[in-house]
Each structure stands twice: as structure tokens, then as C-alpha cells.
Structure 1
Amino acid sequence: MPFLGQDWRSPGQSWVKTEEGWKKYSDEKNNNVAELKSYCKSEEFYKENIFLAMNYDVAAKKRKKDLLNNNTKIPYFHRDKWIYVHKGSTKERHGYCTLGEAFNRLDFSSAIMDSRRFNYVVRLLELIAKSQLTSLSGVAQKNYMNILEKVVQKVLEDQQNIRAIKDLLQTLYVSLCSLVQDMGKSVLVGNINIWVHRMENILHWQQQLNNIQITRPTSKGLTLTDLPMCLQLNIMQRLSDGRDLVSLGQVCPGLNVLSEDRLLWKKLCHYHFTDRQIRKRLIMSDKGHLDWKKMYFKLSRCYPRKEQYSDTLQFCTHCHILFWKDTNHPCTANNTEGCCIPVSPQGFINLFKY
């Protein structure tokens, strides 16, 4: 028996979209047609305006997004006290540990707040700025700039270690100028606008450090000049940087006389340099004596000075774990202390050179 109903292939009912929702299209309701057409036209006009506005603001939105990503201060640190340094794939671990990964996971953000570790972290930041910026991942570079900002803020608050931070910022700025301008923008991970913004921040930090005015404490008490001369000289012998001695000698005439002591500069030369290095750079004064002060600054330009830190990272030769000195790492050796060796800032970087 044939099917006598409406053909199932015929088109269905017509529906149109109105402000009140979807309605059936009816020829009898001609008054609604004009409203529907006007509504469709207004909707098309609205879409065109949105499309033009999006095209007009796309560049501005991209710049804002770059600055927002750069200004995000979310620390991606795991805040671990130790990290396993593996240079090859094993059954337990695949891949290898990179410098950026170690920089992210080790707690450098808290280390800068410790006066014992401050100079260590600053020296490490300086070495990374000289030659290792291109080896850091995008997250590690962001963490680097966040830690650097915390270092600058700490110096501005405490008014200490100003010279070291100035040298660090100058080294970083020179390296970035070389990487961005001379070698091209592709060598650095991230958008070029972000790095330009970071360079502007570095210039701003340098200006803030130059405007620091150290104020004397209001409390009245003994000062360095009130101590006996033998104690003043003993304190000067504890300084390991010749520039600090020169700055101290500019305070008053009495300290200036003590800062020119030949024995003081002689001990400083023998502390930083070997006898062979000293014999190659002998300088005689007008009186026929060795000018130890001039020799120190000449030796400093030719050879690296001895570095000494109150607290450093430790490396366990038994389990290949890098950790801070005051923390316990999961070591299976019987004599844990005998397996641990201190790691200098340069030694930290050398661990991740393959």
C-alpha cells in the first residue's frame, strides 16, 4: 500500500529569530516581517562593528598581553631545598637536568633574604647574565627577573651591597644589548617587546640605586672613629675588597691614614693572588718600596680574585644531589659529610655544561 502522506523529503516549516526567540514564519503576519528584517540588519551592523573594533585593537591588546605576562609575579618555584643532577637517561630517570630547571626548583627566592647567602646568589646572577641567558627557558628567565627585582628592593631598603648590585645590573644590561641588537632577537626566548620592557626596568633600577642617600642612625653611640687605632686597623683587615678600603679612607683623615698602610694592602694581595702572580706584576713606588696598593688593583684587572662566601650550595658526590648546606637531602651514604663538597657559583654553572 503506497504512502499517501506528505513527502518526508519536503522542506520543513520556516523559522525566524526575533527578539523574543525563534518563531514560525507566517505570510499572514506581514507586520512582523519588517520587524524581523530590521532586527537582522541591526544584528549584522553590530557584528560588523565588533569585527572592525577587534581588528583595530588587536595590536594594542597584544602589547597589553605581553606586558601583563611580563609583570606577572607568579613564582614558578617548587621551593625545594635540593635537586637531583642527572646528566643522562637511566631506568629511573629520563632526560637530563638543565640549568633553567635547577634555577627554578632551588629556593633562590628565599636565599636572597639570608645575609649568608646573599653575595652567593648575586654572584650567580652575574655569571648567568654574562653567558647563560640564552640557555634559560622562558619560565627560568621570568624567575631570574623576579629574583633580580627582589634583590634590588632589598638593597633599596637595607642600603647595603649597593656596589655589587650596580655591577650586576650593568653586566646584565650590556649582555642584553648585545643579544638584542648585535646577535638578533631570535636568540632570546620570548617576545622582543618583553625584553625591551625588562631593559627599561633595569635602567629604572639603576637610577634608583644612584639616587640612594645613606642616612646616619639617629641613636648616639660609639662609632668606628671612636675606637682605638689598633682596633680600627684590625677591622680594616677583615675587608676583602680593596674598593671598600678606599671608600672607608674617604670618611675622615684618620681613616685615610690607616687605609694607606702598606702591610694592609700586602695582606690583601697575598689573600687573593698567588706568589707567582704577584711576582709578574711588581710595581715600585718613588721611595723604592713595593706599591702594594697599585699592585692590588693591577692584579685585580689581570686575575680573578678569591671568592669567599658564608654559605654555599653543596653537592653530594654519592647521590648527585645539589642542596643548601643547612638542609638534609635523602642520601644513602654512611658518611654523608664526607661526600659533600661546596659548590662555587662558577661550579654551579659548570655542573650543567654537557
Structure 2
Amino acid sequence: MEASSRGNNYVKKNGVWKIVNLDYYPGSLPDEADEKKKIVNGARYEKSVSTQIVSDRSNYRDLPLPILRNIQGTGIQRKTHESISSALEKLKFEEYASQYRQLNYCREFYRLLVKQKFSKISGTVQKRVGVVLEQMTSTAIALEQFIPPMRQTLREICECLRENEREMIGSKAMRRKNNDLINNCSLRLNNFDFTEKEDDGTLCLMDLPKECLINIMKKLDQPRDVINVSLTCSSLEVIAMDNEVWESMCFHHFNDKEITNFVGHMEFYSVQWLDVFKFCFKKSKVRKTYCYGDELVVCDNCRGVYWRRVGHDCPVVEVPPSFTVLSPADFLHLLNL
């Protein structure tokens, strides 16, 4: 049984999660890894390097997976007595915020934290939030992904900080420094330009026929994904708004009864499926929310909060594992603020 995070591979041995020992430094690296050592930063191997350099597969060290325990209550009444800094540290939020799978979840959490609770958190946590937002900005620019949502998030955070400046904890100098840091991140994203694909004569997505593009779009199961595709260019916007795409989306998310309530009196060929989706989404009691690459979940057995894709070492082994997903808003509500 394996799991991975931060570029490291976790392996469960004898009921204990372990990770390959990466604490190598010049002079302590085994002789067998000398050749590989030269590949990384010339002659230095750092902890943060995600490349696996393993000379002896039996060389493991115990490393507990990130988890937040001592959760009280159930459902919307869930609470933790941990401070926010302690909770974020135990879940490795600062490290995972720069990872591809967790970045979008962390981005939404920090947006809600600033908009709803920023006046209640300490100056130390405020500074850490600014540092994490800078890390996320650098990651988004390096990956050339998540640029529009990061721009929107930083825009909202800047407005919130201006409106609630007098209510925030901390000195004016610290607030000014945080504002400058976030404004600088926003400026970097606003000045960012995507790298254009070189014209090498090979086929690209837009060379496909319209029917193929529509079929590709119908494979997307989340409305936000379709909307994001439509924002890339005018040609894909036309494809994304095609009636067939939203017909497929409707029947994926809603049952026949919910759809019939809206289209029962219409001629089938005249139905505008985007309007049907909006109506059904508004009326549906069970809404399928946007799925993040990774998200926090609470174990139904041991009541620990952990990252779904990373996993955790559950002490309750008598029953099958199960969990409940925590949205960023749910996790914020769970914190002791």
C-alpha cells in the first residue's frame, strides 16, 4: 500500500507509514549514489528536491502522515480546539499550497480565511498567509495554471484588506508589509503572459473537427471545467456553449424527474440545455460540487482530518475505511476562530 506527497513515496510496512530517507547532504550520501548526486544542483542534494535518490530500499525512516485529530462533534457541529496555526502546521498547509493537486483547495481556503476571519487571527498567522500566497503565485506562474482564479483571489483579498484595515490585529508596519506583498503578487499575475506554442507544424487541439471537440467537451463532468475551457479563446467558447455539451451535463448531474419538471412542456429540439442546467442546479437538493485535485476529508472511523490523496494511518482497522469530504468553507468552520 503506497501514497505520495511532496514528491515523496510513502510505504506502509507492518502497519506503519514510512518514507524513503531523503535527509542526505554532501559527505553523507552513500557511495552508490555519487553518480546521481551530480545530477542535482551540481554537487548538492537538498531536502526539497523531489527526485527520488535511493541507494538502499531498506533505508526508511518513520514519518507520520499529516493529520489533525481531536475533532469534537459531528456534521456542521465539528470543531477542533487546536489553534489555527497549529492546525495548519499539522496538515502541512504551507507545503501543500505549492503542490499541483492541493493548490486550488488551499487557494479557496485562504480566500475565505481572509474575507471572513482575517480580523480574528494573530499577526503571526497574517504574515504566514502573505508568504503562502506568494508561494502559490510563484507556483501558478511556473506551472502556467490556475492564473485566472489566483488573480481573482488576490483581487478580492486586496479589497478586503483595504476595507477592514482598522479592524485587523497587528501594527501598521506589518499590515503595510502584507499589503505590499499581496499587491506585488497581484501585479506579477496581471503582467503574466502564457508561453505561446511554437509553430512546429504538428496538429493542435483546434485543428480537430467541431464534432470531435464537442465530444471531448462532453467528457468533462464539472460545469466549472467547461466554463474555464470557454475562457481560453473565442473558438472554444462557441464549442463550450454548444447545446449538446450542456445536455450531457444535465443528464450527468440530475435525474429524469428533475429535468422533466423544467422541459416537460417543451419540444425536445427547442430545449436550451444551459438554462435547464441552471434551473436544475438551483432547485436540486443534492448538488454535485466542484471536485478539487485533492481535498481535506474527515475519517468516519477515527475522526481525523487528512488529505484524501495522501491518506492516513487509521488506528481503527476492524471496519472498512470511509470518509466525509470537507469543503474549504467546512474546514474553516471547523477551526477554533
Name the TM-score, length of structure 1 as normaliser: 0.61
2:95 corresponds to which residue? 110
String of CA shifts for 1:276-318, please: whole Å, max 9, x gaps.
Answer: 9989999xxxxx9444446767999999982212322221233
String of CA shifts for 1:187-236, please: whole Å, max 9, x gaps.
Answer: 32211222123223322322221222222233733210223434322322
Find 1:246's aligned residue among 230, 234, 248: 230
1:314 partnered with 2:294: no
Q: CA deviation at 1:111?
A: 1.5
- Secondary structure of 1:338's counterpart equals coil
User: Which structure 2 residue ranges, 5 or more long, are not aligned?
Assistant: 1-62, 74-79, 264-268
Pairs within 5 Å for 1:1-354: 81-87=66-72, 96-180=81-165, 185=166, 187-218=167-198, 220=200, 221-237=202-218, 238=220, 240-241=223-224, 242-250=226-234, 252=235, 255=236, 257-268=238-249, 289-293=270-274, 306-327=289-310, 329-335=312-318, 337-352=320-335
CA distance in 1, matches of 2:291, 2:124: 30
Alpha carbon RMSD of aligned pairs, Å? 3.9
2:34 corresponds to which residue? none
Q: CA deviation at 1:160?
A: 1.4
- Secondary structure of 2:305's counterpart equals strand
CA distance in 1, matches of 2:315, 2:64: 23
CA distance in 1, matches of 2:153, 2:118: 14
CA distance in 1, matches of 2:317, 2:253: 36
Name the TM-score, length of structure 2 as normaliser: 0.63
Shift in CA distance, 87/345, structure 1 to aligned 2, threshold 3 Å: same
Structure whose alpha-carbon radius of gyration is higher: 1
Q: Is the 8 A contact 1:316 1:340 kept in 2?
A: yes
Q: Is the 8 A contact 2:296 2:325 kept in 1?
A: yes
Shift in CA distance, 279/205, structure 1 to aligned 2, threshold 3 Å: farther
Q: Is the 8 A contact 1:155 1:162 kept in 2?
A: yes
Q: CA deviation at 1:333?
A: 0.9
Q: CA deviation at 1:149?
A: 0.5
Q: Is the 8 A contact 1:84 1:320 kept in 2?
A: yes
Shift in CA distance, 101/270, structure 1 to aligned 2, threshold 3 Å: farther
If asked which structure has higher relative contact order (CA below 8 Å, sep 6+), I would say 2
Q: Is the 8 A contact 1:81 1:323 kept in 2?
A: yes
Shift in CA distance, 289/345, structure 1 to aligned 2, threshold 3 Å: same
- Secondary structure of 1:160's counterpart equals coil
Q: Is the 8 A contact 2:134 2:182 kept in 1?
A: no
String of CA shifts for 1:125-178, please: whole Å, max 9, x gaps.
Answer: 222122122333333222211111111111222221111101211221222122
Shift in CA distance, 327/227, structure 1 to aligned 2, threshold 3 Å: same
Q: Is the 8 A contact 2:82 2:336 kept in 1?
A: no
Q: CA deviation at 1:110?
A: 2.5
Matching residue's letter, 1:127? L
CA distance in 2, matches of 1:257, 1:201: 38
CA distance in 2, matches of 1:138, 1:83: 23
2:6 corresponds to which residue? none
CA distance in 2, matches of 1:280, 1:177: 46
User: Which structure 1 residue ranges, 5 or more long, are not aligned?
Assistant: 1-77, 89-94, 283-287
CA distance in 1, matches of 2:333, 2:253: 22
